[in-house]
Amino acid sequence: MTLQDLNNRFGVRGQLEFMENPDGLIVVDIENPLASAKLALQGAHLLSWRPRSTSLPVVWLSESAQVLSGKPPHSGAPVCWPWFGAHDDPACPAHGFARNLLWDVVAAESEADGASQLTLHLPAAAVSAAQWPYPSELELTLRIGSTLRMTLATTNCGSESFLLGEALHTYFQVSDVEQVIVHGLEGGEYLDKVENFARKRQSGALAFNGETDRVYVDTEAECVIEDAGLRRRIRIAKSGSRTTVVWNPWQEKGAKMADVGEGWRRMLCVESANAAHNRVMVAPGETHVMAVEYGAEPMQ
Ligand code: TA6
């Protein structure tokens, strides 16, 4: 669909507009009474979200992020699907291929309270052309309002069950990662990717003083990022997800990523996922749904 077709069919005057970025990729610009947001059709990649109640974005967009074909930026909320992390076959991209493909828009509307709802679809033909032998399709629905809701629905259209790995790999904007605390994972078991997937247990709330890359398993808990520097709390609620991943590359690794650089201090990924032994078996004809809801509130 051309830019004009997209705007004619799905644009919402003064609220939701499709635009072309300098590389010819289409980005949706949303400005509604409750929030502003940007999303690239490439990867159905939400790039940023800011509810009107807060002056700084909640979902972080790196200053140097560029949406380029086939290269998802380290920003926003990449969709990792149908596997999380590295694949055994080095020819298969890390975090799956959904974030590298162009998605279709199937619906966009403005709701009574002023929120915008947008639905994107990755058809079975696009999925089977990638490295995935199971006929399946994927839909992402976003509700962009004073909270942000994202619902990722995987349908098995084939005759064999498959094991699904997935994540909404969201980058949250923080004042300084050394000044934040994450609540909700206390006592939980995690795989420490910084120490070759060593199995460990979380003691107390999570604070940051070095590279952090942890896969917390068997948790459906809501997480809260308490940001003393911004005096705000970000709430991360989820359903259909039993894994939470927490990642910050820290200085050395951040510097190696052109679109992170010095930005490593101002971001923290808290990802709602199904990974490791929490991957989900999806039977033929079945739809598996994973959903998140993010909100931000001032700290008293
Ligand atoms: O979710 C954490 C993680 O898997 C890290 O290990 C880190 O590599 C990060 O994702 C970013 O991955 P990417 O493929 O986007 O560079």
Q: Write the pLDDT tens digit of every residue in 71-113.
A: 899 999 999 999 999 999 998 999 999 999 999 999 999 999 9
Ligand 1 proximity of 259 Cβ (cutoff 6 Å): no
The chain-wide mean pLDDT, for the chain, equals: 96
Are residues 25 and 41 in contact, defined by beta-carbon separation less than 8 angstroms?
Answer: yes
Ligand 1 atom nearest the C-alpha of 271 is: 1
Ligand 1 proximity of 137 Cβ (cutoff 6 Å): no
| Residues 173-182 pLDDT 10s | 999 999 999 9
| The dihedral formed by the CA atoms of 242, 153, 3 and 102, expressed in degrees to the nearest 10 | 70
Measured in degrees and rounded to the nearest 5, phi and psi for residue 86 equal -75, 150
Characterize the bridge pairing of strands 280-282 and 104-110.
Answer: unpaired
Name the closest-CA residue to atom 15, ligand 1: 74
Altogether, the residues listed in the chain come to a count of: 300
Ligand 1 atom nearest the C-alpha of 273 is: 1
Look-up: residue for tokens 């359903």? 239
State yes or no: pLDDT of 68 exceeds 80: no
Indicate the pLDDT class of residue 23, thresholds 50, 70 and 90.
confident
Ligand 1 proximity of 99 Cβ (cutoff 6 Å): no
Structure tokens at 120: 């994107």
What is the 84 CA–ligand 1 centroid distance (Å)? 9
What pLDDT was estimated at residue 67? 79
| The dihedral formed by the CA atoms of 243, 63, 174 and 238, expressed in degrees to the nearest 10 | -30
What is the 269 CA–ligand 1 centroid distance (Å)? 9
Are residues 194 and 211 in contact, defined by beta-carbon separation less than 8 angstroms?
Answer: yes
Indicate the pLDDT class of residue 129, thresholds 50, 70 and 90.
confident
Ligand 1 proximity of 193 Cβ (cutoff 6 Å): yes
Percent helix, strand and coil across the chain, each to the nearest 5:
15, 45, 40
What pLDDT was estimated at residue 130? 77
Name the closest-CA residue to atom 6, ligand 1: 213
Side-chain-side CA neighbours of 278 within 13 Å: the count stands at 23
Ligand 1 atom nearest the C-alpha of 72 is: 15
Cα separation of 299 and 261, whole Å? 29
Output b/e per residue, 85-106; b: 16+ Cβ within 10 A.
bebeeeeebebbbbbbbebebe
Ligand 1 proximity of 87 Cβ (cutoff 6 Å): no
What is the 108 CA–ligand 1 centroid distance (Å)? 30
What is the 152 CA–ligand 1 centroid distance (Å)? 19
For the ranges 90-99, 165-174, 264-273, the lowest mean pLDDT is seen at: 90-99
| Residues 131-167 pLDDT 10s | 799 999 999 999 999 999 999 999 999 999 999 999 9
Ligand 1 atom nearest the C-alpha of 94 is: 14
Ligand 1 proximity of 6 Cβ (cutoff 6 Å): no
The continuous run of DSSP H or E covering 128 comes out as helix 124-129
What pLDDT was estimated at residue 173? 98
Measured in degrees and rounded to the nearest 5, phi and psi for residue 157 equal -95, 5
Ligand 1 proximity of 139 Cβ (cutoff 6 Å): no
Q: Which residues does the annotation mark as catalytic?
A: 169, 271
